[in-house]
């Protein structure tokens, strides 16, 4: 390759890193597994921060007219709680699972673009830190995660500028990652893995990446308009100068509703993956679960104005969006019925991942039902912008999503770290979290119907909302206890010696369990050939002609062909570590500060990113052998 000589000249400043262990290796790694772990750690850290914000919110609302925080601080807290949990926790935590598992589940050595993957992570992390730096630079975003203009364009604090820039930066991370993972699933599946042998988690991952690819451009345009209105006094959302405040709402929710499915489909994938393992049955109606996921993705682009029933779009629009919102319940119901049918007649083993999965389904059903109620437009006129909505989406995203994440964490922990989390602590955490969760968000249904508005830092005693608010506050602190139990579980587990008694602790079904735990850097000594959906299970068991299961004798699995010999991992060329994705990423938040403070800083940031991209482009993906 002609370009091989170019990085040699660049090596004067940044020598090509080679280390695969040690602290520095994390900064230069392009290994999807390390990047997945970093996504997970960063997302969990943001989860803790967002959780602390939630605890402050609940402390302030523990009684009428308290002043734990003032109105200004409260508005920043609820905005940052939402932004953090959506953009800095759920999305990157899903990305952690996708990054780590998708290549393993499809039998690939890495993602399609390993350095782009590293770039995505660093951009996300730096974007999150950029957002949080606003606390020290004049105030955090304070206009809600939905940032309705013109309140967001006229607010005198600098916060909403950080919001626009921060989400633009993390949006770049999501877009790059979405393209990367979609290409990976489409192009890099192991021989024999047709689309209908792709594990269901990876399928849901693929749908999510397409949702991201199509929805992120919309919010990107909207955020640029918001930023320009704020910073350079354009008038996209100012009706006195020809703009329109409703334009923001259309664009935000045209992104924002697919975003809801971006948040929940990874959880559906985790549920659909884990439920069959502990039911000892294949996923019921695999193809219907796949297609319902795709259908949810499509219909998810056609329901956005159900966030805007009260905006005055008129009865035609409200009718249309009421009906489309109701229709989305159909594919969602199909998923739930298939999960139930998977459990039916199974041999249900309630080990900790199964507890979380069943909990997630049961909590999601509640959120789904209150969601269907939002298609009933006239009664939604009462519910919209109240705590009823807060209850609804927490049942979906916490009840469905976060419970599923914990299921995934407990289930794949041995795969990732080579150690089993304590079953006992995981179960204790589950029960505390289940009680705490329902105590927090269950009463909010009542509060909303009794007239408690969202985004309200206080309420007068006369409204009679005190009792249920107190319950919710108690519940939220129980959730905090549950999270502490999880942290204790992790700390205790990581101090245990590495190694699993059983390389297949759950009797799992998919390809990631065919390799060692943790997997070697190159994932598979030899790229597996896939013969079936649930490939790994079919290597362990066969069904006889009457559907009964017979265990395959060791060594008789179709892939275990002694003539081909076991690979040892030698002579596998993996992409080499690189500094350039990190360099390119660092330029973006610098540009962000530049937009707010100085053209010179903006130019400096752009320069850093361009240098990073050039260094990256001119460097071969695999370093020359030294």
Q: Which of residues 542-571 bind another protein (CB under 8 A)?
A: 543, 547-549
Q: Between residue 47 and residue 106, which ones bind another protein under the rule CB under 8 A?
A: 70-72, 75
Decide whether 189 or 230 has the Cβ nearer to another protein: 230
Strand partners, 430: none
Decide whether 125 or 193 has the Cβ nearer to another protein: 193
Contact 248, 237 (CB under 8 A): yes
Interface with another protein: number of residues (CB under 8 A): 97
Q: Which two tokens mark 481?
A: 């206890």
Q: Report residue 315: phi and psi, to 5°.
A: -65, -30
Decide whether 471 or 611 has the Cβ nearer to another protein: 471
Q: Report residue 112: phi and psi, to 5°.
A: -65, -40
Least spacing, CB of residue 395 vs another protein, in Å? 12
Q: How many CB atoms lie within 10 A of CB 537?
A: 21
- Binding map of another protein across residues 456-495, x = CB under 8 A, - = no contact: xxxxx-xxxx------------------------------
Q: Residues, the chain, total? A: 626
Instruction: Enumerate the H helices of 61-113 as residue ranges.
Output: 71-83, 91-105
Decide whether 366 or 588 has the Cβ nearer to another protein: 366
Specify the DSSP element, H or E, that contains 551: strand 549-551
Least spacing, CB of residue 533 vs another protein, in Å? 9
Is 134 a residue that touches another protein (CB under 8 A)?
no
Decide whether 150 or 258 has the Cβ nearer to another protein: 150
Is 22 a residue that touches another protein (CB under 8 A)?
no
Is 449 a residue that touches another protein (CB under 8 A)?
yes
- Rounded distance between C-alpha atoms, residue 508 and residue 551, angstroms: 14
Least spacing, CB of residue 480 vs another protein, in Å? 25
Is 497 a residue that touches another protein (CB under 8 A)?
no
Decide whether 109 or 445 has the Cβ nearer to another protein: 445
Instruction: Enumerate the H helices of 106-144 as residue ranges.
Output: 114-133
Q: Which two tokens mark 184?
A: 């990976």
For another protein, which residue of 541, 552, 602, 614 counts as binding (CB under 8 A)?
Answer: 541
Least spacing, CB of residue 342 vs another protein, in Å? 9
Q: Between residue 319 and residue 338, which ones bind another protein under the rule CB under 8 A?
A: 319, 322-323, 326-327, 329-330, 333-334, 336-338
Contact 509, 536 (CB under 8 A): yes
One-character DSSP codes across 229-247: HHHH---TT-GGGT--HHH
- Binding map of another protein across residues 287-306, x = CB under 8 A, - = no contact: xx------------------
Neighbouring residues of 38: CB distance < 8 A, sequence distance ≥ 6: 26, 121, 125
Which is nearest to 483 in space by CA: 36, 37, 44, 42?
44
- Rounded distance between C-alpha atoms, residue 199 and residue 67, angstroms: 51
Which is nearest to 33 in space by CA: 95, 100, 103?
100
Q: Report residue 509: phi and psi, to 5°.
A: -120, -25
Is 624 a residue that touches another protein (CB under 8 A)?
no
Neighbouring residues of 553: CB distance < 8 A, sequence distance ≥ 6: none
Is 453 a residue that touches another protein (CB under 8 A)?
yes
Decide whether 50 or 243 has the Cβ nearer to another protein: 243
Least spacing, CB of residue 176 vs another protein, in Å? 32
Least spacing, CB of residue 500 vs another protein, in Å? 21
Least spacing, CB of residue 609 vs another protein, in Å? 32
For another protein, which residue of 41, 69, 179, 362 counts as binding (CB under 8 A)?
Answer: 362
Is 454 a residue that touches another protein (CB under 8 A)?
yes
Is 365 a residue that touches another protein (CB under 8 A)?
yes
Q: Report residue 288: phi and psi, to 5°.
A: -70, -35
For another protein, which residue of 143, 256, 400, 528 counts as binding (CB under 8 A)?
Answer: 143
Is 272 a residue that touches another protein (CB under 8 A)?
no
Q: Which two tokens mark 186?
A: 């489409």
Decide whether 451 or 566 has the Cβ nearer to another protein: 451
- Rounded distance between C-alpha atoms, residue 540 and residue 535, angstroms: 9
Upper half-sphere CA count for residue 96 (Cβ side, 13 Å): 24
Q: Report residue 386: phi and psi, to 5°.
A: -115, 180
Is 452 a residue that touches another protein (CB under 8 A)?
yes
Which is nearest to 175 in space by CA: 112, 108, 119, 111?
119
Decide whether 385 or 559 has the Cβ nearer to another protein: 385
Least spacing, CB of residue 250 vs another protein, in Å? 13
Stretch that binds another protein, among 44-52, 138-146, 175-183, 556-564 (CB under 8 A): 138-146
Decide whether 456 or 516 has the Cβ nearer to another protein: 456
Estimate to the nearest angstrom the gap between the alpha carbon of 84 and the chain centroid: 11
Is 344 a residue that touches another protein (CB under 8 A)?
yes
Q: Between residue 237 and residue 266, which ones bind another protein under the rule CB under 8 A?
A: 239-240, 244-246
Is 373 a residue that touches another protein (CB under 8 A)?
yes
Upper half-sphere CA count for residue 377 (Cβ side, 13 Å): 22
Place of tokens 């997970």: 40
């Amino acid at each position: 390759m002609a370009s091989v000589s170019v990085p040699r000249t660049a090596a004067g400043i940044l020598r090509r890193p080679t280390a695969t262990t040690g602290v520095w290796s994390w900064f230069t790694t392009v290994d999807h597994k390390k990047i997945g772990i970093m996504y997970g750690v960063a997302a969990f850290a943001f989860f803790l921060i967002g959780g602390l914000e939630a605890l402050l919110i609940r402390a302030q609302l523990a009684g009428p007219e308290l002043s734990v925080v003032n109105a200004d601080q409260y508005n920043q807290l609820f905005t940052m709680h939402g932004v953090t949990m959506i953009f800095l926790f759920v999305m990157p935590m899903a990305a952690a699972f996708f990054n780590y598992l998708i290549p393993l589940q499809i039998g690939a050595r890495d993602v399609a673009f390993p350095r782009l993957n590293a770039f995505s992570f660093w951009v996300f992390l730096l974007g999150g830190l950029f957002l949080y730096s606003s606390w020290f630079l004049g105030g955090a975003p304070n206009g809600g995660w939905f940032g309705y203009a013109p309140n967001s364009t006229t607010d005198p604090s600098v916060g909403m500028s950080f919001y626009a820039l921060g989400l633009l930066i993390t949006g770049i991370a999501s877009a790059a990652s979405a393209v990367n993972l979609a290409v990976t699933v489409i192009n890099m599946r192991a021989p024999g893995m047709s689309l209908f042998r792709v594990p269901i988690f990876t399928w849901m991952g693929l749908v999510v990446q397409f949702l991201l690819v199509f929805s992120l451009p919309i919010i990107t345009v909207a955020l640029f308009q918001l930023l320009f209105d704020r910073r350079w006094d354009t008038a996209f959302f100012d009706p006195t100068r020809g703009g329109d405040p409703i334009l923001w709402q259309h664009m935000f929710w045209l992104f924002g509703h697919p975003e809801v499915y971006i948040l929940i489909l990874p959880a559906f994938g985790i549920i659909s993956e884990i439920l069959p393992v502990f039911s000892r049955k294949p996923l019921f109606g695999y193809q219907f679960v796949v297609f319902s996921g795709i259908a949810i993705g499509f219909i998810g682009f056609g329901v956005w104005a159900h966030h805007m029933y009260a905006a005055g779009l008129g009865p035609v629009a409200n009718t249309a969006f009421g009906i489309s919102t109701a229709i989305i319940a159909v594919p969602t119901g199909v998923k739930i019925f298939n999960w139930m049918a998977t459990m039916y007649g199974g041999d249900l083993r309630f080990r900790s991942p199964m507890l979380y999965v069943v909990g997630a389904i049961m909590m999601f059903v509640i959120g789904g039902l209150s969601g269907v109620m939002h298609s009933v437009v006239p009664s939604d006129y009462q519910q919209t912008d109240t705590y009823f909505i807060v209850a609804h989406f927490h049942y979906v995203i916490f009840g469905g999503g976060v419970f599923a994440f914990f299921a995934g964490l407990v289930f794949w922990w041995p795969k990732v770290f080579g150690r089993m989390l304590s079953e006992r602590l995981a179960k204790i955490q589950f029960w505390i979290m289940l009680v705490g969760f329902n105590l927090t968000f269950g009463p909010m249904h009542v509060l909303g119907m009794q007239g408690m508005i969202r985004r309200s830092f206080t309420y007068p005693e006369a409204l009679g909302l005190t009792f249920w608010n107190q319950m919710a506050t108690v519940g939220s602190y129980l959730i905090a206890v549950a999270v502490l139990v999880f942290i204790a579980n992790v700390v205790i587990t990581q101090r245990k010696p590495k190694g699993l008694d059983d390389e297949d602790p759950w009797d799992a079904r998919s390809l990631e369990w065919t390799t060692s735990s943790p997997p070697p850097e190159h994932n598979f000594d030899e790229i597996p050939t896939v013969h079936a959906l649930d490939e790994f299970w079919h290597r362990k068991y066969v069904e006889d002609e009457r559907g009964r299961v017979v265990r395959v004798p060791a060594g008789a699995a179709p892939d275990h062909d002694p003539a081909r010999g076991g690979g040892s991992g030698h002579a596998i060329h993996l992409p080499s570590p690189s500094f350039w994705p990190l360099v390119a990423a660092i330029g973006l938040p610098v540009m962000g500060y530049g937009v707010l403070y100085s053209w010179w800083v903006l130019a400096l940031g752009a320069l850093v990113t361009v240098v990073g991209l050039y260094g990256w482009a001119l460097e071969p993906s695999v370093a020359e052998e030294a």
